[in-house]
Amino acid sequence: MNGKQLKNSILQWAIRGKLVPQDPNDEPASVLLDKIRQEKERLIKEKKIKRDKNASIIYRGEDNSYYEKILATGEVKCIDEEIPFDVPNGWEWERWGNISQSIQYGYNAPALEHGAIKMVRISDIQENCVLWDNVPYCQIEENDIDTYLLKVNDILFARTGGTVGKSFLVEEVPEKAIYAGYLIRTRYSSLLNPRYMKSFMESQLYWEQLKNGTIATAQPNCNGKTLAKMLLPIPPTKEQDRIVEKLTQLSSFLDNYGLCQDRLNLLNKEIKEQFKKSILQEAIQGKLVPQLTEEGTAQDLLEQIKIEKLNLVKVGKLKKSALATSVIFRGDDNKYWEKSEDGAVCIDEEIPFEIPSNWAWVRLDDICSFIHRGKSPQYSPIKKYPVVAQKCNQWAGFSIEKAKFIEPKSITSYNDEYFLQDRDLMWNSTGLGTLGRMAIYYTILNPYELAVADSHVTVIRPYKTHIVSEYLYYYFASNTVQSVIEDKSDGSTKQKELATKTVKSYLVPLPPFVEQLRIVQKIKSVTSIMS
């Protein structure tokens, strides 16, 4: 349970009468509500407030059901279905509108550096506090000020936008101020504890009722009628005070709990990340699963790839130049050497770690049939051929939902090899922040006919009968690669780029095929424990 969840639970206990004990000597809430109704009648007679046509009395009948009587018409209806839970003896259910002296929309006017009076906006309220230094001024007629004037213990209610429903208890007004049009001010009887009222407006019960009354548009909004109809449990006055006192006592504990929980969550996240990094590092060094003689060697695997290349060259699906591979070996001097058509070169400084004897170091290009950047697309609103861009490739996985689409007619400009194939690797190759991020393309995740990559993504297509794409993914996700990705890139500080030549020349520690499968399976099973 995080800090927010604990606070919500405590607020629920509070408004259910479970946070503090009831005192049978307390004056019951029914008496309190009678006093509030008398107070409202006096204010109506003094023409300080208007009579509410929807004013009602909620009571419990002899059949133990809840009823509501509309005072203006005398109409009575059963509201059992509206009552969310039972409250203790001495408590009462009431509508917000019945205890409110006014529910008033704010004033609409341009914000000014100078003006007649300050005007509090939604944006001026942050973390339950008005940033008074930021509050602008506005122009308003003198005789309108009283209508919108803020007073201590008023509650402001956001009625639109992303903050709809958020409330703020006005505890100080350092200088005369009104409030803006996207806010509703609720003013209620001084016989009620304002902090109890604010606590209700933070409770799950409040938010559930608000959600049911919110108008779902592009800009969600709620109105005064929704607020007036809300049901809230009213404790006796003295119990309201005890509830508020207890919540105040618990507030510092809740804050500390929330901070501790945040630290714990961060620590758990860091542990998971470090654990995963460790697992990947163990995996690519041949330390995660045992080596088995019967599975052969990487050299055997490379010979099989060579045979496949020859066959592809014969049928014209691969250029003859693909046969010109290099061989990496350990010399008599115990150093690593790379032999190509140009001779042998010592590459000992490039080798990041030791690998098992049945493994081999290879260049990525030697185990792939296709490594190439995508093309700069001509975009179209027609959703037929998606383009995989950087944002589609997340460490959490490949997401086709984030893709844009190319102009359908331009698909003819793409050679077949540029169409993404199942289990292709897609490597983000430009820009800081996304550089080096990789995902695997799975055909099953693409509901469209085909897909291509854009020019910021390098497509890596291994020989999939011999190379497990997921193994390569884990290697490129490892700290060995990711920690130096920017050092391997070219370009300016703001626009780093992995050149295709660099990608092709990446060194890869290659196990036998079956061991690749076992490594992938082991990584998935071990990391799932931490998820």
Asked if residue 228 and residue 300 are part of one domain, the reply reads no
The last residue of one of the domains, among 234, 256, 278, is 256
* Whether residues 189 and 304 fall in one domain: no
**How high is the pLDDT of residue 322?**
81
Angle at 424 (CA atoms; ends 499, 432), nearest 5 degrees: 40
Indicate whether 384 belongs to any domain.
Answer: yes
The first and second tokens of residue 288, run together, are 């995660």
pLDDT of residue 409: 92
The reply to whether 337 and 248 lie within a common domain is no
Q: Which residues of 223-256 are buried (b: 16+ CB within 10 A; e: fewer)?
A: ebebbbebbbbbbbbebbbbbbeebeebeeeeee
Phi/psi-derived region of residue 444, left when phi > 0, alpha when psi is between -120 and 50, beta in every other case: alpha
Please give the structure tokens belonging to residue 135.
Answer: 């509050």
**CB-CB contact of 239 with 22 (8 Å):** yes
Q: Is 2 helix (H, G, I), strand (E, B) or coil?
A: coil
In the block, tokens 């019960």 appear at: 205
Same domain, 71 and 197: yes
pLDDT number for residue 282: 94
Model pLDDT, residue 493: 55
- Domain final position from 256, 279, 313: 256
Cβ pair 243, 237 in contact under 8 A: no
- Residue 235's pLDDT is 96
Are residues 330 and 436 part of one domain? yes
Domain identity same for 238 and 386: no
Whether this model's pTM surpasses 0.95: no
Domain assignment present for residue 286? The answer is: no
Give residues with Cβ within 8 angstroms of 530, minimum separation 6.
Answer: 271, 272, 275, 276
Q: How far apart are CA 407 and CA 409, in angstroms?
A: 6
Containing domain of residue 311, as a range?
Answer: 293-529
Q: Give residue for tokens 């200088």.
A: 175
Task: Give the pLDDT confidence score for residue 141 in this predicted structure.
Answer: 92
Asked if residue 279 is part of any domain, the answer here is no
* 309 occurs within a structural domain: yes
Cα–Cα distances (Å) from 140 to 184, 185, 326, in that order, read 18, 17, 81
Q: Is residue 275 part of a domain?
A: no
For the chain (531 residues), the mean pLDDT of every run of 10, in chain order, is 82 93 95 95 92 92 93 93 93 95 93 92 88 93 93 92 87 93 92 94 91 62 86 96 93 80 79 84 94 95 93 87 86 91 90 94 95 92 93 89 92 92 94 88 92 95 96 94 87 77 95 96 85 62
Q: Are residues 197 and 331 in the same domain?
A: no
Instruction: Say whether 451 sits in a helix, a strand or coil.
Output: coil
Domain count, the chain: 2
Residue 69's nearest CA partner among 79, 81, 82 is 79
One domain, residues 511 and 388: yes
Q: What are phi and psi of 59, to 5 degrees?
A: -145, 165
Structure confidence at residue 153 (pLDDT): 94
Does residue 281 lie within any of the structural domains? no
CA distance 414 to 507: 29
pLDDT, position 220: 65
**Residue 23 within a domain:** yes
Cα 187 from Cα 503, distance rounded (Å): 67
Token readout for 353 is 């770690």
The CATH number for 499's domain is: 3.90.220.20
* Same-domain pairing of 178 and 119: yes
> 46 with 96, same domain?
yes
283 falls within a domain: no
Distance of CA 226 to the CA centre of its chain: 29
Verify that 11 and 91 share a domain, yes or no: yes
Assess whether 178 and 303 both reside in one domain: no
Q: d(Cα 378, Cα 263) in Å, to the nearest integer?
A: 46
Give residue 219's pLDDT.
Answer: 54
